[in-house]
Amino acid sequence: MSALIDSFLDYLRLERAYSPKTVQGYEIDLREFESYLARTDEGVTLETADADIVRNWTMEMMEAGQKETSVNRRLSALRSFYRFLLRKGVIAMSPMQTVKGPKKKKPLPYFLREEEMNRLLDGTDFGQGFEGERDRLIVQMFYETGMRRAELVGLDEGDVDFYRGQIKVTGKRNKQRLIPFGKELKAAMQAYMAEKAREVPETEDGALFVRRNGRRVTEGWVYGMVHRNLAKVTSIKKRSPHVLRHTFATAMLNNQAELEAVKELLGHESVSTTEIYTHTTFEELKNAYNNAHPRARK
């Protein structure tokens, strides 16, 4: 075992006052690298290891199935170790200067499949009268427009243009955009607004979505209502309004919509934000291939 590692661990314990558990973590990571050097090239030591060797170690860990967070933690331990050796004059240059760790993969967004949405909108009882019409319409609007929860809560009746078939939405930083809607959503909105006019004649500031008392619905209330209804058709862990936004984007791309068009509908500043949904659609294609192609199942 290297005396250099022992000296570094003593420095962490005595001068930096690191906890025993933290020091133990550093030791495990550094001993792993030391073992890698020993089994790959007997002529390379901790003092002579270069960036290529560190990169090869990184690749070995990734190919072994280690998570990006674990690999980056070990590389961080190496960086601290080689900074220590630099200060002590043991080495003239750290091999870590040009080494970058693997990027952490962004988790794929949760979304509902088309059959789940059909079951939710066509086979779920949202209740009767004004409140039932409202709750179903909110879910339908998230799915058919992809708008954010705050955007839906802020809608006024005057934002809906039935003649042109579009809704004016005020998004982040008060940036406005127009979202088109189809015949089904139009009919649902008209039915709800007629029911609302009968049962809730006075509403707050012309708000589109209101409670029984005429006050505008809140973001918290919308979250709870959507969460309860999504639970009726799916077992995914996240059951928020944002899941319906993800579902909208995924459905659009799965049906050949252009990425730039989906970006505009969602109100994203950059197309790179929208690209996460292309990963989702590729996963759909991959699953379809694995399930359908006769050679893929062997």
Residue 198 annotated among the catalytic residues of the structure: no
Structure tokens at 209: 């979505």
Of 74, 196, 245, 246, the catalytic one is 245
Among this protein's residues, is 148 annotated catalytic? yes
- Residue 279 bears catalytic tag: no
Q: Which residue in the list 74, 134, 148, 149 is annotated as catalytic?
A: 148
Question: Tokens standing for 221?
Answer: 């209330």
Q: What's the rounded Cα separation, in Å, for the pair 77 and 72? A: 9
Helix 129-145 and helix 183-199, axial crossing angle in degrees, nearest 10: 150
Q: Given the residues 172, 212, 228, 279, select the one marked as catalytic.
A: 172
β-bridge partners, 156: 207
Separation of alpha carbons 30 and 198, rounded Å: 72
Q: Which residues are the active-site residues?
A: 148, 172, 242, 245, 268, 277
